Chain A
Amino acid sequence: MIYREAGVYKSTYRADHAIFTIPQDRWSMIGIFAIAFLLIPAVGSEYWLGAIMLPFLILALAALGLNILTGYCGQLSLGTGGFMATGAFSAYKLATAFPDVHILFVILGAGLIAAAVGILFGIPSLRIKGFYLAVATLASQFFLIWMFITFGWFTNYSASGVISAPPMTIIGDIFVTGPQATLVAKYLFTLSIVVVMALVAKNLVRSNIGREWMAVRDMDIAAEIIGIPMLSTKLKAFAVSSFFCGVAGALWAFLYTGSVSPLAFGVDRSFQVLFMIIIGGLGSVMGAFLGAAFIVLLPILLNNLPTMLGLNIKTDMISHMEYMIFGALIVFFLIVEPHGLARLWSLLKEKLRLWPFPH
């Protein structure tokens, strides 16, 4: 009885097509935005903003990208890290080659280059399906990382193979990258990009394109028979997904770490993002955020747990234990709710709607 659609009347198609048709949803979203834009920068400590919120937002963006490809279009990909690296290194090349260009265009350009690379590596998906495709996407992962390590051109021939973001401003002298940038500025800049892109994603998946993707996911042959073009639909998913991952990679390199080597986008990163969408929920925009929050917070919690409990364990032991607990928790979550946190949330809504009756 707490959460209900009843009593909401819509008299126009516009109202019916709105993202949040139910007042409760609308108000809670406004509340979340208020907290994210006003409260967190005001009260968040340096550690919270820099070490938790920034990676959370950026990885959520990457998870959103992968979720479009895997959760909505059904193409399992393990190449996320490679596409993020593409975004990061193209942003670096763009920013150093055209120092006067505004940072927004640099990030946009990085995303577009990543999208082009994504289309290239998406071509095999027309022939290859399922886990065969997943392994095939690992080819792009390893190849791209190897390319950024081997050819000095990508790093402007830096000896260490590490790229560092040049200082860039958003307006006036408000720096968002480089040493002068404040964490609050970085945070707000990242948050704005993530919010805008999340809204784009949400609208994309409930549009015609999104429905085509889901049709391909659920049964590609049937989708082809009713006239959905396989080639363009799958490649669109690869392009959009890599665009998101590319932007996330650029933000990661420029705003979060400041300087980064290709190894930061290794196969572990791909798995990390995949974990996020599985834990969060395949085929759900909110799931990407929930999953990212979970995967970012869990290791931090595990790391601090022994000290909090006052236990004294050797550090290498702790890292092994972390692996164990992380693995066990993943399995545990899959058993409790294979469809992720987002599904748990909708079950909760279902219960609240009928509350206090069980069914």
Chain B
Amino acid sequence: MRIERDIIYIILGFIVLMVVVPWTAGQLSDQVFFNWPFFFEVAIGGLLSGVMYSLIALGFVLIFKASGVFNFSQGAIVLFAALTLVGLHGLGLPMWLAIVATMGVMFLLAVAIERLVLSKLVNQEPIILFMATIGIAYFLDGFGQTLWGSEVKVLNLGISEAPGFYFDGQILINDFDLFAAGIAAVMVVVLGIFFQYTRIGRALRAVADDHQAALSVGIPLKHIWIIVWTVAGLVGLVAGIMWGSKMGVQFALSLIALKALPVLILGGFTSVPGAIIGGLIIGAGEKLAEVFLAPMIGGGIEEWFAYMLALAFLAFRPQGLFGEKIIERV
């Protein structure tokens, strides 16, 4: 990928902002506590939690890239996958079998969505498909909880939640977060290769550009949609496992999707690496702002800070950092 100059400038500007502002604030004010190891600890913690946002954003990107559908139901898919996994495990299946079975369920879900919804809405405007995915989100939220109940469930992967100390014990990092980051990195590489270099990947991108033309050259939309929703379901499952073991499997998982949206516009709807880098920037920015800026302007800013940050980036690149240029011809 050709990295353009303004991307580098934007990222440099961001780093300056996130380092210089807290540092100055720390020097000038008594209320803001600032020292370098603590700063790095917060930044690294932010980067790693950003990876978790990226995992959810990835699901969005996949479906958008492959079918041009802005899939609002990704959060609900994450919740549904996690609920199903925990539910099946609770029925007595061993963990690995439960995971395989959940993958099967995600495939069936993809088939059902294609059969019942998408195939009936071919060639409709994007906003209609967007609304349909909101409908799917409502349905899945209700369905999963009707099926498996709505109380908070514990999901334990057996990875220690205990903090590990690195760099001579000065900086505290969660082993679990490192594990999540590793998983995310692997997924990005695999998906990137899949999209760029395989026959199906190319067909997916073609469908995203023009449904009807894709139909006319003989790409079977049905199969493509089933494939892409299955893959999004699997990505959702991974995200569900990660988030579920971090905060318990509960309805709030579905709302994390709202956190992933700024990641998405920052990275660009169509870029897999964009989802990761966007996640890192949002994660680090959010944590740093929470710790170093919130004392200055009031608490609770993490609700909107990510959005404002993304908005600031969009002013310079309207299609996100790595999004495909919008090609317009009159």
User: B-contacting residues of A (Cβ < 8 Å)?
Assistant: 70, 76, 124, 127-132, 134-136, 138-139, 142-143, 145-146, 149-151, 219, 221-222, 225, 267, 271, 274-275, 278, 282, 316-317, 320-331, 334-335, 338
A327 B130 Cβ-Cβ under 8 A: no
A324-B314 in contact given A131-B269, A142-B307, A338-B124 (Cβ < 8 Å):
no
- The answer to whether the Cβ of B134 comes within 8 Å of any Cβ in the partner chain is yes
Give the contacting residue for B117; candidates A76, A128, A138, A331; CB below 8 A. A331
A324→B328 CA distance, assembly (Å): 39
A323→B145 CA distance, assembly (Å): 10
Which residue among A132, A267, A282, A322 has the maximum number of chain B CB atoms within 10 Å of its CB?
A: A132
How far does the Cβ of B15 sit from chain A's closest Cβ, in whole Å? 22
B326 A129 Cβ-Cβ under 8 A: yes
| Prevailing SS type, chain B contact patch | helix
State how many residues of chain B have any CB contact under 8 Å with chain A: 50
B320 A146 Cβ-Cβ under 8 A: no
A143 B128 Cβ-Cβ under 8 A: no
Question: 20 extra interchain contacts, Cβ-Cβ under 8 A, other than A132-B318, A323-B141?
Answer: A127-B314, A129-B326, A132-B269, A134-B70, A136-B314, A138-B261, A139-B307, A275-B131, A320-B142, A322-B142, A323-B139, A324-B138, A324-B142, A324-B146, A326-B139, A327-B136, A327-B141, A330-B135, A334-B132, A335-B132
A338→B130 CA distance, assembly (Å): 12
Q: List 9 A-B contacts (CB under 8 A).
A: A139-B262, A142-B303, A146-B300, A271-B134, A274-B131, A275-B134, A317-B146, A330-B131, A330-B132
A138-B142 in contact given A327-B136, A334-B135 (Cβ < 8 Å):
no
A326 B262 Cβ-Cβ under 8 A: no
A327-B314 in contact given A131-B70, A275-B131 (Cβ < 8 Å):
no
A136→B303 CA distance, assembly (Å): 14
| Prevailing SS type, chain A contact patch | helix
| Residues of the A chain whose Cβ atoms lie less than 8 Å from the Cβ of B128 | 278, 334, 338
| Residues of the A chain whose Cβ atoms lie less than 8 Å from the Cβ of B127 | 70, 76, 278, 282
A320-B132 in contact given A143-B307, A327-B140 (Cβ < 8 Å):
no
How far does the Cβ of B295 sit from chain A's closest Cβ, in whole Å? 13
| Residues of the B chain whose Cβ atoms lie less than 8 Å from the Cβ of A328 | 135, 139
| Residues of the A chain whose Cβ atoms lie less than 8 Å from the Cβ of B328 | 221
- Would you list which residues of chain B between 132 and 187 have a CB under 8 Å from chain A? 132, 134-143, 145-146, 150
Give the contacting residue for A138; candidates B135, B307, B326, B330; CB below 8 A. B307
| Residues of the A chain whose Cβ atoms lie less than 8 Å from the Cβ of B281 | none
- The answer to whether the Cβ of B264 comes within 8 Å of any Cβ in the partner chain is yes
A136-B330 in contact given A150-B298, A324-B142 (Cβ < 8 Å):
no
Residue of A nearest to B76 (CB): A327
Task: Provide the B90-125 mask, 1 if CB < 8 A to any CB of A, else 0.
Answer: 000000000000000000000000001100110011
B139 A331 Cβ-Cβ under 8 A: yes
Give the contacting residue for B136; candidates A129, A278, A329, A331; CB below 8 A. A331
Give the contacting residue for A320; candidates B120, B150, B265, B314; CB below 8 A. B150
Q: Ordered nearest first, which 7 A-B pairs have the shortest CB separation?
A: A323-B142, A327-B138, A327-B139, A330-B135, A324-B142, A139-B307, A142-B304
| Residues of the A chain whose Cβ atoms lie less than 8 Å from the Cβ of B330 | 219, 221-222, 225
A282→B315 CA distance, assembly (Å): 28
| Residues of the B chain whose Cβ atoms lie less than 8 Å from the Cβ of A321 | 142, 146
| Residues of the A chain whose Cβ atoms lie less than 8 Å from the Cβ of B16 | none
Residue of B nearest to A130 (CB): B126
- The answer to whether the Cβ of B319 comes within 8 Å of any Cβ in the partner chain is yes
Residue of B nearest to A71 (CB): B127
A138→B261 CA distance, assembly (Å): 9
